[in-house]
Structures are given as structure tokens and as C-alpha cells.
Structure 1
Amino acid sequence: MNDTKTALVTGANKGIGFAIAQGLGAVGFTVAVGARDERRRAEAVGKLRAEGVDAFGVALDVTSDDSVAAAAADLGRLDVLVNNAGIAGAGPQDPTTLDVEVVRTVLDTNVFGVIRVTNAMLPLLYQAPAPRIVNMSSNMGSLTLQTGPILAAYAPSKSMLNSLTAQYARRFAETKVIVNAACPGYVATDFTGFAGLRTPEQGAAIAIRLATLPDDGPRGGFFDDAGVVPW
């Protein structure tokens, strides 16, 4: 039996998601590159394989129940799930003039998408010896820090994701599944208009750490490179 662990990273065709896939591949995981766009997905898999990573593509649109169910059916094994796919949403996001459809669209990916994918993958994760789930959040969702510009759809979506992570952790308390939220920091990707101060590899480091926690690792927390992030 092949004992190589498998990790699924959603939105892994570029940016932080791709860097997470690289990092998990470098420590020995087989990496499933989850992405909607077939060409970008294939290109990402090609790059990873050129670097020696055992990678394969998974067609995955986190906003589609059918797509998520098909992806779960395609995976024979899953040890780590990194819920990285996320969108900022159309802007500006002034709360006083906010279009609720923008909020709906952001939540559909950033929150509902996480629920869809996580719950579809649970039967596989439950079979893994050391299952880990990492939800990619942002300190913009912190009610304490209130960082970044006013983004009244995006920031609350990350606040909700942090709360959702805590709920999953409570539910998984008596199981092997360890779930945490990660803040990658302000990373230079197309998501930030390449204005960030950190590289995708730096942003991916905390996710890789949480994806490879020991069995007595923390549960239901929100972490960045420096440690616990205030909520």
C-alpha cells in the first residue's frame, strides 16, 4: 500500500495556494491542485512536477455542490485539506453603500465554499491517520486588530471563517481531525495587486506548519508566523 500522504489545496493554481502546494510537496505530500480553470490548473501541475513534486489536478469550483462532490469522489485518499480559495469581492466596499449581492458572492466562496469542501472531504479525512484542515483567513477579519482598508464584505467573511473554524474544532474535539485558521500576512500576489510586503512562500509557511501539526497540536486557533492572532 502506498503510504504517501495526500493534500488538497483549493485555489492552488497561483499565489499563496500554489506556494502552499509547493511547500507541502517539498515535505513529501502528494498534492492535489484544486482549481476551476483547466488551463491554469494544468500549468500549475506542470510547474510542480518540474520541481519534483508529486502533483495532480482536481477540477474544483468551491461554489458548486456538484463540482465539490465530483472532486471528493475523484480522491481516493486525503490527509490534509487547505481551504485557500478566496475572493476579495467587487469594490469599493463601504458599508453605508454596500451592495448585498457583493456580500453574498464573497460569502459563497470564502465561507460557504469552505463548508461545502470540508464536509464533502470529511469521509476521506476521517480515514486518515493524522487529518489536518487549514482555513486561510486574514487578520482583516480580526475584531481586535481591524487592519487594512474598509472592506465590508471581505473582512466580515474572514471573521465568520474564524468563528466557523472554532465551531468545527469543537465538533472535532474527540476526533483525530485538527482544524485551525491561518493568516498569511500581506502577501504580494494578484489578490493584493502585488502591493504586499511578503512573498507567497512567506505567506504559505504558516499554512504548511498547521497542516503538519503533531497530534497534540493546537485546535481551533488563529495563527500567523508570530503565533496566536487576536480575534
Structure 2
Amino acid sequence: MKTLITGANKGIGFALAQNLGHRGYEVLVGARNETRGQEAVEKLKAEGINAEFVKVDLDDLNQLTSLSALTDIDLLINNAGISGNIHSDKGHLDMEKSAFDYSSSDLEETIKTNFLGTHAVITELLPHSLTENAKIINITVPVSQEYWMPLAYVTSKAAQNAMTFAFGHQFKKDKSQKQIFAIMPGAVATDLNGAKVGDSPFVKSPEETAQMISKFIFDEKNHNAQIINFDGTIYDNYEPGLRNKVIKDVAKNGLKRKFKK
């Protein structure tokens, strides 16, 4: 069994590499920086894990075309991403920054990396690199919470969530055995958010998070086109409230649409 994990040189990605490696997976450590990626590989090898570095630079769509040469990937975990504080002294998510203070370039660069880069990873691997029953996991966040609104980051994740549903429904339509789903790990101590274990009773370590993610990967359930919260709550539609309203309206009024003259 083989897995490619993006952003696997640290944080959640590295913890997942350890977790899956100890389950017998060959681990492809996807990272932008080769030095850091190779350091992660050596740490994994020291634990007896079969690991190899693969360059994955979500900012460079041309570089990502090289991924199509990979073969026999059973599990793709899209974990890499940037915080969206492109023009800030803070490298991590800024929870206090006003939504009005994000520039167009903040949004453009974050969406390019987190959404378009992830999209490119998947589409480069889909034709020939993934096995028949492969699973694609996107690590994501809730995008509509009052107390948590780093605009550039959540916008990029909203697009990624929409892609999860769209690709999942396409798998269903094509009668494919592949699955794509997303997991919301909750608060985790990582460089991306600047949180540390102990900051709050809700902040988990990367190792705890990797165990939780693995639980959903290996629960033998079909999670295609779903978003799974860390507590097990499953969302199978991006806007269930809106969808239910549309269904009720159609049931009541049919498909007639009224236009103002």
C-alpha cells in the first residue's frame, strides 16, 4: 500500500506519515522544500518506515505535472496549504484580522495555492497514478463560523470543499470505486495557526489528529462526497439548509421560475 501526503514534512502531515507508515504503508513525503522533505524522510526511516521524498509545490502548477509519473497510489492526503497572511508579519492564521483588510492579492495567492494547487495534484494523479479503489482525503475547515473568519484561508477551503463534493458526485456518476472526502480536524497545534497544545482544552496535538483522521480512513465506510467533522458529524451537502429549502420550494411550486418584467 502506498500513500502520498502533501505537506508531510511537519505538523499533521508528518504525524500522518508516521501513523500510516507504522501501518505498513509506503509513504511518499510531499513537500515544497527538498531539504526539509528529506529530513522528514530520514526521521521516518529511523522509525523503520519506508519513505521517499516527492517534490510537491502547490504554488507551481507546472511542477505539479511531474506527479503524473507516480504509480500505484492507494491513498492521497491533501494536507499542504498556506495561511493566507501573504503580506503580514504573522506567518500563521491571524484570527483578529478584519475580513475587510484582506487584499485581492491575498485572496488570489491563497486560492492559487490551497485550491488550484490541490486541484492540480488530484487531476495530475487521477488518470494513471491512483489505484482502482484509491481514497483522496482533503484536510479542511468549517467556513461559516462567526468567531473564526480568516477570509483568504476559508475562501480557499470553501472552494476545496465544493471540489470535494463535485469530484465525489462525478465518481458516483462514473460508477468509480474511488472515493474523495474531506475531514475537518478541529483545533490543532500547528505552525499554520500558531496554536500550541495547552492553549485551550480543545487544541489537539498533530499525533492525536493523525489518529482521528486514520479512524475515518479505515472505518470501512464509504465516505465519498462527504465532509466529516472531527466529532464524527457527517455533511454530505455543502449547504444542506439551502438544498432543503430548494427541494421544498420545488415540491410546492414545481420548476416554474418567475422573472420580473
Q: Which TM-score band applies after superposition, normalised by the shorter structure?
A: 0.7 to 0.9
Kindly indicate whether residue 230 of structure 2 is the aligned counterpart of residue 225 of structure 1.
yes
Cα distance, 1:131 vs structure 2:
0.4
Q: 1:91-117, CA deviations, whole angstroms, 9 ceiling, x for partnerless residues?
A: 555232320100111111111111100
> After superposition, what is the alpha-carbon deviation per residue over 1:1-25, rounded to whole angstroms, capped at 9, x for unaligned?
xxxx110000110000111111111
State which of 32, 38, 43 in structure 1 corresponds to 2:39.
43
Relative to structure 1, the CA distance from residue 155 to residue 200 in structure 2 (aligned partners, 3 Å threshold; closer, same or farther) is: same
Aligned length: 220
CA distance in 2, matches of 1:66, 1:184: 30
Q: Is the 1:183–1:206 contact (alpha carbons within 8 Å) kept by the matching residues of 2?
A: no
2:99 aligned to 95, 116, 136, which one? 95
Instruction: List runs of 5+ in structure 2 lacking aligned partners.
Output: 89-93, 198-202, 239-261
Residue 207 of structure 1 pairs with residue 213 of structure 2: yes
In 2, the alpha carbon distance for the partners of 1:67 and 1:31 equals 20
Cα deviation for residue 178 of structure 1 reads: 0.5
Q: Is the Cα contact below 8 Å between 1:69 and 1:120 reproduced in 2?
A: yes
Query: What SS does the corresponding residue of 2:73 show, helix, strand or coil?
Result: coil
Q: Deviations over 1:169-219 (max 9, x none)?
A: 0011110111100111111111121335110012223432344353x5121
Q: How big is the shift at 1:72?
A: 2.7
The answer to whether 1:78 aligns with 2:73 is yes
Matched, 1:6 2:22: no
Q: Is the 8 A contact 1:136 1:207 kept in 2?
A: no
Tell whether 2:124 aligns with 1:110. no
**Preserved contact between residue 89 and residue 106 of structure 1 (Cα < 8 Å):** yes
Listed as ranges, the matches of 1:114-129 within 5 Å are 114-126=118-130, 128-129=131-132
| Structure 1 runs, 4 residues or longer, greater than 6 Å off | none
> Distance between the aligned counterparts of 1:186 and 1:95, measured in 2?
20
In the other structure, the counterpart of 2:248 is none
Q: How much is the aligned-residue C-alpha RMSD, in angstroms? A: 1.9
63-72 or 48-57, larger mean C-alpha shift: 63-72
CA distances 1:37-68 after superposition (whole Å, capped 9, x unpaired):
11100110011111111110001102222211
CA distance in 2: counterparts of 1:203 and 1:148, whole angstroms: 22
Q: What SS class does the counterpart of residue 227 from structure 1 fall into?
A: coil
The equivalent of 2:247 in structure 1 is none
Question: Structure 1 80/149 Cα, relative in aligned 2: closer, same or farther at 3 Å?
Answer: same
Query: Cα 1:148–1:125, aligned 2, differ >3 Å: closer, same or farther?
Result: farther
Q: TM-score, normalised by structure 1?
A: 0.88
Structure 1 unaligned runs (5+)?
Answer: none
**TM-fit CA distance, 1:224:** 2.8
| Correspondence for 1:23 | 19
Q: Percent identity?
A: 33
Residue 33 in 1 paired to residue 33 in 2?
no
Structure number with larger C-alpha Rg: 2
Deviates more, 1:169-178 or 1:193-202: 193-202
